[in-house]
Amino acid sequence: MSSIQTESISYVASGQTMTGYLALDSAIDGPRPGVLVVPEWWGLNDYIRERAGQVAALGYTALAVDMYGEGKTAQTPDEAGKMMNAVMGDMEAGTARLEAAHHALSDLSTVDGERTGAIGYCFGGAMVLHMARIGMPLRAVVSFHGALGSFHTPEPGSVRARVLVCHGAADVMIPDEDVRAFKTEMDTAGVDYRFIAYEGAMHGFTSREADANGKKFGIPVAYNETADRESWQAMKALFEEVF
């Protein structure tokens, strides 16, 4: 019988109620590292709840983040794109939502607030990289097939988190020039980062739903079992080092 406990929790960002999803192992006593899990453009759906449970099974307290307010999710790429672009078009509000989620996580009795990290998928990958860029007090962030464009150029020495980017080498949704610009930005800012490109992996490579979504909506996404497994192992190794 699993000792992973889950529940929805509410917190407030700029006056708006956000509905996150908490997962932790009740068999572990006391505070432990906390990890934010930031969703794809679909919002906080079953896939992200599953990932939060997997993070909790590693011995961390996981909080899946609501980026759209009141737990809203999207059912089509058009709907998801509008919701995602609304956040990315107002990153002051987006930043407030990320910071509110981090505060909510850090304040939990099961979390050691000095040991926190964040992982994100696609849109969420862009968001956790933003958290690192603006110097939020995270030990590490991990982007899985995330967008790499920057909303904030970090000053040298300002990024506190170690950064891991797990990228699909066959991801046509992330331009090669974005990859080059990202690496230049990280090098210039003196960031401790690792960039892994998985051969043959397309956008969405960690999600088993990607194949069906790709066919249904005609978008270039696909699951890749090898890249999914190896990127999760890279994340685990990084967290074991920093926590």
166-216, pLDDT tens digit by residue? Answer: 999 999 999 999 999 999 999 999 999 999 999 999 999 999 999 999 999
The beta-carbon contacts of 44-52 under 8 Å, at least 24 apart in sequence, are: 44/19, 44/20, 44/68, 44/71, 44/73, 45/73, 47/207, 47/209, 48/21, 48/121, 48/124, 49/6, 49/21, 49/23, 51/119, 51/121, 52/6, 52/21, 52/22, 52/23
CATH homologous superfamily, domain 31-46+74-242: Alpha/Beta hydrolase fold, catalytic domain (3.40.50.1820)
Q: What's the confidence (pLDDT) of residue 159?
A: 98
Q: What's the confidence (pLDDT) of residue 101?
A: 98
Q: What's the confidence (pLDDT) of residue 2?
A: 84
Q: What's the confidence (pLDDT) of residue 76?
A: 95
- What gap in Å lies between CA 64 and CA 226, rounded to an integer? 24
Q: What's the confidence (pLDDT) of residue 28?
A: 95
Rounded to the nearest 5 degrees, what angle is found at the Cα of 109, between the Cα atoms of 103 and 113?
45
- pLDDT tens per residue across span 129-145: 999 999 999 999 999 99
* Residue whose C-alpha is closest to residue 207's, from 84, 35, 45: 45
Q: What's the confidence (pLDDT) of residue 193?
A: 98
Could you identify the residue written with the tokens 């909510």? 104
For residue 1, pLDDT beyond 80: no
- What gap in Å lies between CA 178 and CA 180, rounded to an integer? 5
Domain boundaries, the chain: 31-46+74-242
- pLDDT tens per residue across span 2-56: 899 999 999 999 999 999 999 999 999 999 999 999 999 999 999 999 999 999 9
- pLDDT tens per residue across span 76-116: 999 999 999 999 999 999 999 999 999 999 999 999 999 99
Mean pLDDT of 216-233: 97
pTM of the entire predicted model:
0.98
For residue 243, pLDDT beyond 80: yes
- pLDDT tens per residue across span 141-159: 999 999 999 999 999 999 9
- What gap in Å lies between CA 230 and CA 146, rounded to an integer? 16
